[in-house]
A and B are shown apart, each in its own frame.
Chain A
Amino acid sequence: MNNTLKRDNCDVAIIGAGPAGLAAATALKKAGIESVVVLEREAEAGGIPRHCAHPPYGIREFKRILSGPSYAKKLVDEARNSGVFIALRSTVTKLEQGGHLTISSPEGMKELTAKRVIIATGIRETPRSARLVSGDRAMGICNTGTLQSMFYLKEMIPFRRPAIIGTEIVSFSALSTCKKAGIQPVAMIEEAQQPTIRWPIYHAARLFGVPLFVNTRVAKILGKDRVSAIQVADTNQTIREIPCDGVLFTGQFTPESTLARMSHLELDFRTGSPVVDSFGRCSDPTYFAAGNVLQSTNKPMHVPFYYKQDNLPQSVDVAGTCWHEGKVTGEWIANDLLSQQPSPPEKDK
């Protein structure tokens, strides 16, 4: 299959071949838009579900329960069958006024101008450094995304006895990956009084024999070359040392929005997402955003009490929601491009 971008203009360019980007692309093609290009920086399309090997995916989209990789494959096939061109190993390095994109690919630097651009670059977990966690910088410290891509894509593991930090949905997913990979977590640590996601964590922690510590925070990571232990502190500041060979920081999602941040587009500093109107349009109306890169402080989400109002954690939307948002955005853009109507109303200032 040819994945190399040859053209220098198109109707709609979509950055990111995850559920949101692929759904938007498919919707655009189905609505009759001629040239739709998805730009994906990885060697394979599908996004994060590629390395979430557990169900349930696809209930909303395909009325079936699928694993992450089969779900990703179905989305990619559907897009390609609709006539979407997916350019792989194509990294957008710059967004400019008027839908002008600069792209790095192994064949060289390219430029692409699109009538509309959708930013669908997704979300990632907050790493240890940005959480300002004390201690040594040893090997064995990572996020769930790393654990899962290492295990499901490369059949490797970053540790054997990690401490898991956080109790979000993704932490539950991390527990199940550990189980599959033969990793035995030594503890789950939650700063709040209650786990963020209650029932599955209690259940899973018990099922997997992982002690759950609430009202507890990581005070320090110890280890010279590799992690050897963590010190945790309870609300009385009593320190307890837990031997482990890794620390898995789960959740605290943050939009992967650096492209927008480095560009002319306005950014909402509270969420880290591009500022959009009700149509998903950015401050430059050539650009749209969809999926998890778009976090809104208005979305209902569970907020642990220890977050300050100006530093809210991000709720991560499940793939189905991203897919839906991508589809709606794609349909809206198709309508806009196909109707000879004047441009949609000016954005509210």
Chain B
Amino acid sequence: MTTQSDKTVNKEDAKQLLASTDIAVIGGGVVGCAVARRMALEGASVVLIEKGPDILEGASKGNSAILHTGFDAPQGSLEWECVQKGYQEYLDIHKSFNLPLLKTSALIAAWTEEQEEKFPAIMKKGYDNGVTDLSLLSRTEVLKSEPNLGPDLRAAIRVPREYVIDPWSTPLAYLQQAIENGGQALFNAEVTGGAFDGNTWVLNTKRGQVKASYVVNCAGLYGDILDNSALGHSEFTIKPRKGQFVIFDMAASRLLKTIILPVPTERTKGIVLFPTIFGNITVGPTAEDQDGRDDASVDEDNLKALHTQAIEKIPALANIPITATYAGIRPATEKKEYQIVEDSDRNWITLGGIRSTGLTSALGLARHVHDLLQQQGAQFKALKSPSIPMLPNLAEHLPRDYETPGYGEIVCHCEMVTKREIDAVMEGPIPAGSLGGLKRRTRVTMGRCQGFYCSARLAEITQGKLSEPLGVEDE
């Protein structure tokens, strides 16, 4: 159980023992949350250690929310395998968590002759990857289902089982299940180093120490730094790659129902136009290599370029206002493949370089971690009937909270977020630790006015509860 007091740092307690556990998961991104859930379900005691005030404060806050089939994953790779397993497990479990699934399908669109020439290779790769339901559509066929696509469209490959999911409720559900089944989460607890005595790890965090039999490094953008500080070396180097996005107003939702994928290049999946689970249309991401691991700034030139590209693909978007812009940072490495590194002598596993497919592959990766731990000799007794948390629905295509009486008041009018939803989050098992965390759990202030109308009320409701408050203290 996480409480508000867990989220305040007390520097004097750095030597205090915070927890003793079977598994320490370092990093509260989607991968860390999924690993914590899997190991809790397998019967291990689990502590998730996060340096930020909330989960999803790093790479995972900026993912593009697509449930991938793995049609273009590197052949025979672990990534492909984890995407397959993760995809299937999400389909198996999402209803029981009340997590949404928007069955959009995807179109790999060719806008030039050159792109169209790559279609046979993409079809073959998809087939070899077990995605056998791809089909080739002519321009006329595409326009039947997506009449708003622009004049340059030549043809497309339809990928029927690529879907859109809720990028933030999903990892939250994973961690919440871990916690409901005995797990623990520590926030504001950056791991600064650790020592292994042949049996047990003692991890030093900014809040105190954690003893663990096994450690899983899911530190994402900081994975190599953590390996260096705890193991003395890292098998890879994180090369942060920024992706910026532009989000169009909900009125755009009538213009597109399908995910529009580009013909991928070696380096990146390219710029995608996709409906979000919240009823918007988003374009992005850019792919910009940079040094900074926490520089998620946006820049006007790239945002304008994205906007222009979106309008080239869907001309009617020119009439739709922009709601928001944001940037995420992918933890790319010098290599293309996932970097799964095991130090079995020291009971340590590192999951590194998990890029854009991470949201889909996380559940598969978590199973892989369990397999590796078993091979290392770890033995746990899986829970017979684990508790399953029900997540509040934030998806626009399903009934929202404001449609049910008794919500008190609507706080955020653009996204129709109720006081009841905000209260539930602030009093829930993993209360939001930052405004970002509250946005990701409720959609509050994420709409077209970006807080013009509701920030005052929100500042009042959240006073004293967020790491960085909306209202500054009086001097």
A residues apposed to B, CB below 8 Å: 41, 43, 51, 89, 91, 93, 104, 106-109, 124-125, 127-130, 132-137, 139-140, 142-143, 145-146, 149-150, 153-154, 156-160, 220-221, 224-226, 245, 254, 256, 258, 261-262, 267, 269, 272
Known: A41-B410, A136-B297, A156-B471. A146 touches B452 (CB 8 A): yes
Q: Does B467 contact A (CB under 8 A)?
A: yes
CB pair A129–B453 under 8 Å, yes or no, is no
CB pair B459–A158 under 8 Å, yes or no, is yes
Minimum CB–CB distance for B329 against chain A, Å: 13
Minimum CB–CB distance for B438 against chain A, Å: 12
Known: A91-B416, A127-B450. A160 touches B296 (CB 8 A): no
Which of A129, A149, A254 has the most chain B CB atoms inside 10 A of its CB? A129
Chain A residues with CB under 8 A of B95: none
CB pair B467–A225 under 8 Å, yes or no, is yes
Known: A106-B405, A158-B472. A124 touches B467 (CB 8 A): no
Tell which of B29-37, B109-117, B299-307, B380-388 binds the partner: B299-307
Q: How far is the CA of A137 from the CA of B449 in the complex (A)?
A: 15
Minimum CB–CB distance for A322 against chain B, Å: 17
Q: How far is the CA of A185 from the CA of B65 in the complex (A)?
A: 40
Question: Which partner residue on chain B sits nearest A261 by CB separation?
Answer: B251
Question: Which partner residue on chain A sits nearest B408 by CB separation?
Answer: A106
Q: How far is the CA of A125 from the CA of B296 in the complex (A)?
A: 25
Cβ 8 A contact of A146, one of B296, B303, B456: B456
Q: How far is the CA of A135 from the CA of B450 in the complex (A)?
A: 16
Count B-side interface residues using an 8 Å CB cutoff.
54
CB pair A89–B452 under 8 Å, yes or no, is no
Chain A residues with CB under 8 A of B414: 258
CB pair A130–B413 under 8 Å, yes or no, is no
CB pair B250–A258 under 8 Å, yes or no, is yes
CB pair B449–A139 under 8 Å, yes or no, is no
Minimum CB–CB distance for B336 against chain A, Å: 30
Minimum CB–CB distance for A296 against chain B, Å: 17
CB pair B322–A130 under 8 Å, yes or no, is yes
CB pair A139–B468 under 8 Å, yes or no, is yes
Q: How far is the CA of A231 from the CA of B409 in the complex (A)?
A: 39
Chain A residues with CB under 8 A of B405: 106-108
Q: How far is the CA of A146 from the CA of B449 in the complex (A)?
A: 10
0/1 string, B281-314, CB within 8 A of A gives 1: 0000000000000111111100110010000000
Question: Which partner residue on chain B sits nearest A125 by CB separation?
Answer: B452
Cβ 8 A contact of A160, one of B295, B299, B472: B472
CB pair A220–B297 under 8 Å, yes or no, is yes
Minimum CB–CB distance for B316 against chain A, Å: 10
Q: Does B375 contact A (CB under 8 A)?
A: no
Chain B residues with CB under 8 A of A107: 405
CB pair A139–B435 under 8 Å, yes or no, is yes
27 of the cross-chain contacts (CB-CB < 8 Å) are A89-B409, A91-B402, A106-B405, A106-B407, A108-B404, A127-B449, A127-B452, A130-B323, A136-B295, A137-B297, A139-B470, A145-B452, A146-B451, A149-B455, A153-B456, A154-B459, A157-B474, A158-B471, A158-B472, A160-B472, A221-B297, A225-B467, A226-B468, A245-B472, A254-B321, A261-B251, A262-B251
Known: A91-B413, A154-B460, A262-B250. A129 touches B299 (CB 8 A): no
Chain B residues with CB under 8 A of A136: 295-297
Q: Does B97 contact A (CB under 8 A)?
A: no
* 9 residue pairs, one from A and one from B, having the closest CB atoms: A156-B471, A127-B450, A108-B405, A149-B456, A269-B319, A150-B456, A134-B299, A225-B468, A261-B251
Minimum CB–CB distance for A327 against chain B, Å: 25
Q: Does B403 contact A (CB under 8 A)?
A: yes
Q: Does B448 contact A (CB under 8 A)?
A: yes
CB pair B296–A137 under 8 Å, yes or no, is yes
Known: A129-B324, A146-B456. A93 touches B470 (CB 8 A): no
Q: Does B406 contact A (CB under 8 A)?
A: yes
Question: Which partner residue on chain A sits nearest B246 by CB separation?
Answer: A132
CB pair B471–A133 under 8 Å, yes or no, is no
B residues apposed to A, CB below 8 Å: 249-251, 294-300, 303-304, 307, 318-319, 321-326, 402-410, 413-414, 416, 435, 448-453, 455-457, 459-460, 463, 467-472, 474-475
Known: A130-B323, A136-B296, A150-B471. A106 touches B435 (CB 8 A): no
Minimum CB–CB distance for A295 against chain B, Å: 13
Minimum CB–CB distance for B111 against chain A, Å: 24
CB pair B322–A91 under 8 Å, yes or no, is no
Question: Which partner residue on chain B sits nearest A183 by CB separation?
Answer: B472
Q: How far is the CA of A256 from the CA of B413 in the complex (A)?
A: 11
Question: Which partner residue on chain B sits nearest A270 by CB separation?
Answer: B319
Q: How far is the CA of A32 from the CA of B472 in the complex (A)?
A: 50
Chain A residues with CB under 8 A of B463: 156
CB pair B299–A154 under 8 Å, yes or no, is no
CB pair B322–A135 under 8 Å, yes or no, is no
CB pair B452–A132 under 8 Å, yes or no, is no
Known: A106-B406, A160-B475, A226-B468. A129 touches B416 (CB 8 A): no
Chain B residues with CB under 8 A of A41: 410, 413
Chain B residues with CB under 8 A of A220: 297, 299
Q: How far is the CA of A160 from the CA of B451 in the complex (A)?
A: 19
Q: How far is the CA of A226 from the CA of B249 in the complex (A)?
A: 26
Question: Which partner residue on chain B sits nearest A145 by CB separation?
Answer: B452
Chain A residues with CB under 8 A of B294: 224
Q: How far is the CA of A106 from the CA of B405 in the complex (A)?
A: 5
Known: A135-B297, A261-B251. A91 touches B472 (CB 8 A): no
CB pair A145–B453 under 8 Å, yes or no, is yes
Cβ 8 A contact of A132, one of B322, B453, B472: B322
Chain B residues with CB under 8 A of A258: 249-251, 414, 448
Question: Which partner residue on chain A sits nearest B407 by CB separation?
Answer: A106
Minimum CB–CB distance for A226 against chain B, Å: 6
Question: Which partner residue on chain A sits nearest B303 by CB separation?
Answer: A132
Chain B residues with CB under 8 A of A143: 452
Minimum CB–CB distance for A213 against chain B, Å: 18
Chain A residues with CB under 8 A of B323: 129-130
Chain B residues with CB under 8 A of A91: 402, 410, 413, 416
CB pair B459–A150 under 8 Å, yes or no, is yes
Q: How far is the CA of A149 from the CA of B411 in the complex (A)?
A: 14
Chain B residues with CB under 8 A of A150: 455-456, 459, 470-471
Chain B residues with CB under 8 A of A134: 297-300
CB pair A132–B325 under 8 Å, yes or no, is yes
Question: Which partner residue on chain B sits nearest A149 by CB separation?
Answer: B456
Minimum CB–CB distance for A70 against chain B, Å: 20
Q: How far is the CA of A267 from the CA of B295 in the complex (A)?
A: 39
